[in-house]
Amino acid sequence: MGLGDWRSEASHAAASTKRTAKMPTETRFKFNERISGERPTNSIPLVKLRAAAIPMPGQPSGLAVLNVACSMLSNFEPMRLFSVSFLIVALNTVPILAATPELAPTPTIPAAAAEQGKDVVHQLNNAFAKVFETVAPSVVIIEISKKNDSETSAFEDLFFQGPPDENNPRRNQRSPQPSQSEGSGFIVRPDGYIFTNFHVVEAADKIDVKLKDGREFSAKVVGSDEKTDIAVIKIDAKDLPVVQLGDSDAVRVGQFAFAIGAPFKLDYTFTYGVVSGKGRSKLLATSGYSISDYLQTDASINPGNSGGPLCDIDGKVIGMNTLINGINRGLGFAIPSNMAKEIGDELIAGRKIMRPWLGIRIETLGDDPSIRDLFKGIDKGVVVRTIEADAPAYKSDLRPFDVITQVDANSVTTDSQLQHEILKKKIGQKVELTVWRKGQTLKVPVTTGELPNEISRASNEPARPPQNREEEVGKFGLQVQELTKEMAQRFKLGVQRGVIVTDVTENSLAAQQGIEREDVITEVDGKPVTDVKTFRDALNQADPKRGVLLYLDRKGSKTFAVLKAGGGEPPDDR
């Protein structure tokens, strides 16, 4: 329907409305009854209510403005997010809105309302375009070249050239080609410093950068931080346009978000959506560590968008896009701009990225239903799953199965909150942990250490212990033998008493709970284990339906496992 048609129908509807309005109430009901075939009742269905707007002189009705907005939106699917804006226009136009039981035909759209709705669309259209025009000149396309290994090259030769042919020597020549990929980045300083993702430039042999104005430069890596997936590269150029960094802490869920990058090598693709969430965690785990503050957006983020900016409606960068969840599924994530700036500035200054840590693996209380029944008397906190060998917490009184509830009097209820509290500390700073242990509340001081570059288990596996004096614990699927001092020294174990696991039956309760061969069991339900007999006695007194708590020493690290009848496999807490 064109604008002229709207005006024509608006005049007809206005005349009809005036005639109806002059009728007495009962007459008006009868008039509507003849039209609709329905008799109004005292209980009017919600679907039959009509919003009666009382317009100011010379203004179209709010309902009319809202109708024209909805009509235009129905023809423009990409404008789906603007419904709220049109609703605001409608409400601002109308001083009073009331529900009336009139069953009059749906009002047509007056010409003035059509023009007003069209103006709103144009204003939003211009605002979106301005975001791109403001930010795009500071966005770069990053082309990466990496050497192919021989196996990949051989496969490509066979696939693209065919099998070797003695009549065609060129087919017999191995010609490995470097692999190429694209990512994005954004300029933060006019002398050529660029922020991007670590995974974009990782192991790159050659980095080329293309600017919006068509110029191309070679780039070098200034520094990178694998744990946050942030890198800084530099090109030799001056007077470059730079982005304006926004405050990611001030970002609100529901606000507009815009992404610029090169998905699938389509340079300077512009997509939009909203900020869908904040503080997303456990998305990127590198060497047992993950940041806990991702922004979530439904703006399309695909391969090639990585490292590019996520912007707000003012064109300020609020995040660095990073591809975590594969091809776009409506789930995009971005590293907050405040974190990118903090890490990026350190890298530009040539300083090492140092972080405090305690050396514990943790999970939110309640995440693992199989052990929930063992925590009677507490319902919130963070469970200590494992204490790493030689870590700061290993030297403290902290134990596996402790529940941390506070860090220096600040309450923590999730593993992300605990990690965030520790990251605010300095290396070498003493912190006081409030822990729940078997119904008692304790204060455990721990001095933070420096987070190592690599957090992994020992790579050299000790030889299997000798098989003499083994005893099978059939109902749990374990085989154990007494740990001697000589054995502990020989296999460089962290303890000198307990029983050592020599075998774990496949699909048994022990296997499901992650117990491994060469684990040393030191306690059962808090009772010390000194030999096979004390271990068996403790098990016989335990209730598998409730859960049997085992304290373990695993190559120097302290951890625990719960053997519970019907319990499933525990989640990966690394």
Q: Distance (Å, rounded) from C-alpha 329 to C-alpha 334?
A: 15
| Beta strand segments in 414-456, E | 430-437, 440-447, 449-450
- 3-state SS string for 492-534: CCCCCCCEEEEEECCCCHHHHCCCCCCCEEEEECCEECCCHHH
* 129 Cβ contact list (under 8 Å, min separation 6): none
Please report where in the chains the tokens 């943790």 appear, as a residue. 362
Q: Where are the beta strands (DSSP E) in 54-138?
A: 97-100
Distance CA 180, CA 555 (A): 42
Torsion of CA 302, 305, 306, 310, to 10 degrees: -110
Q: What is the dihedral of CA 151, 153, 154, 160, to 10 degrees?
A: 140
Asked if residue 422 lies in contact with residue 407, where contact means CB atoms within 8 angstroms, the answer is yes
Report the distance separating Cα 557 and Cα 399, nearest Å.
Answer: 11
d(CA 113, CA 104): 20
Tokens encoding 239: 């007077």
Number of other residues whose CB lies within 10 A of the CB of residue 138: 23
The span from the CA of 339 to the CA of 319, in Å, is: 9
* Residue ranges with strand state E in 147-214: 179-187, 193-196, 206-210
Residue 72, token pair as written in the block:
């235009």
Tell me how crowded residue 334 is: count the other CB atoms within 10 A of its CB: 29
Alpha carbon separation from 365 to 208, 379, 411, 412, 421 (Å, rounded): 47, 7, 14, 11, 17
> How far apart are alpha carbons 47 and 68 in whole angstroms?
20
Amino acid at 40: P
Catalytic residue ranges: 199, 229, 306
